[in-house]
């Protein structure tokens, strides 16, 4: 599925075609959809497919003037899954003219970014968009960890009331330690140290000169680092 957005007068609007300064969001795209976007943005094809590989790790890559940022973001598979809370790759492709996000799932990070609730989100200010995506990702990790803790508390209450075998078996599929490992491990792979270095660099010169023009962007990056530190505790 392709959805195309553009900020106009501070609002995030849906548009029909890719134009300068737009954001194309690909969710579980078909090969035809990938080809359509690639023809418009002119980036290496693997930039649009890396994030569809479930094992892709958080990293950045540059080629032919384009940048790929891969984040590991939390995803809720449903209560019936062996591990309800996991992480999946989200790719952000940045060029001079376009933004593209690619994910195999409709993750909460994308829903929050497209909800209109993220203040200051701009499809034109690309570095700021990436910082917003990191910030929202950190918030979603805290939310998912809270949901895991609530599930544990609920099961503990049930087990205190009844220690039947069925209750004990219900505890195992939740796989809470495994779910927490997915979430916390992803935070470690993102690398708080990397973000701290990015923050130090931004304070000096900014990643591309754009970020430092607004002190709020530095504050936003500081918040991301702080949230990821809290998640790892």
The reported pLDDT for the residue numbered 128 is 87
List, for residues 152-169, the tens digit of each pLDDT value.
777 666 665 655 555 555
The reported pLDDT for the residue numbered 213 is 45
111 vs 206, residue with greater confidence: 111
**Is 110 in contact with 3 (CB distance < 8 Å)?**
no
Label residue 212 by pLDDT band (50, 70, 90): very low
**Is 103 in contact with 69 (CB distance < 8 Å)?**
no
Is the confidence at residue 205, as pLDDT, over 50? no
Cβ-proximal residues to 130 (8 Å cutoff; 6+ apart), any chain: 69, 92, 94
For residue 174, CA distances in Å to 15, 49, 54, 159, 167 come to: 41, 31, 21, 14, 12
Does the domain spanning 2-122 belong to CATH 3.30.460.20? yes
Domain residue ranges of the chain, discontinuous segments joined by +? 2-122, 137-232
CA distance 158 to 154: 6
- Does this model's pTM top 0.85? no
Label residue 225 by pLDDT band (50, 70, 90): low
List, for residues 175-195, the tens digit of each pLDDT value.
455 555 555 555 555 544 445
List, for residues 85-138, the tens digit of each pLDDT value.
888 999 999 998 899 999 999 999 999 999 888 888 888 888 889 888 988 888
Is the confidence at residue 27, as pLDDT, over 90? yes
**Is 15 in contact with 6 (CB distance < 8 Å)?**
yes
Distance between the two ends of the chain, CA-based, in angstroms? Answer: 37
88 φ/ψ angles, rounded to the nearest 5 degrees: -135, 160
| Residue 164 tokens, joined | 């039947």
The reported pLDDT for the residue numbered 182 is 55
- Which ranges of the chain would DSSP assign to H, the alpha helix? 31-41, 108-114, 126-161, 165-174, 176-190, 192-204, 215-232
List, for residues 29-80, the tens digit of each pLDDT value.
999 999 999 888 888 889 999 999 988 988 889 988 889 999 999 998 888 8
């Amino acid at each position: 599925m392709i959805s195309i957005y553009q900020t106009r007068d501070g609002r995030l609007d849906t548009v029909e075609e890719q134009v300068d300064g737009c954001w194309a969001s690909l969710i579980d795209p078909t090969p035809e959809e990938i080809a359509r976007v690639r023809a418009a943005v002119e980036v290496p094809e693997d930039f649009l497919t890396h994030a569809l590989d479930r094992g892709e790790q958080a990293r950045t890559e540059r080629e032919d003037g384009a940048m790929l940022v891969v984040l590991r973001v939390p995803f809720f598979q449903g209560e019936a899954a062996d591990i309800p809370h996991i992480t999946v790759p989200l790719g952000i492709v940045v060029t001079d003219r376009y933004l593209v996000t690619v994910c195999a799932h409709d993750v909460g990070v994308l829903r929050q970014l497209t909800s209109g609730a993220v203040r200051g989100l701009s499809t034109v200010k690309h570095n700021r968009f990436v910082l917003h995506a990191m910030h929202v990702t950190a918030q979603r990790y805290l939310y998912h960890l809270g949901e895991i803790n609530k599930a544990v508390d609920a099961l503990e209450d049930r087990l205190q009331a009844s220690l039947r075998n069925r209750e004990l078996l219900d505890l195992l599929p939740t796989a809470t330690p495994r779910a927490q490992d997915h979430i916390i491990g992803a935070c470690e792979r993102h690398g708080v140290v990397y973000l701290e270095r990015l923050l130090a660099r931004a304070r000096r010169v900014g990643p591309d000169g754009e970020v430092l023009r607004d002190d709020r962007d530095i504050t936003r990056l500081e918040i991301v680092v702080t949230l990821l530190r809290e998640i790892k505790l």
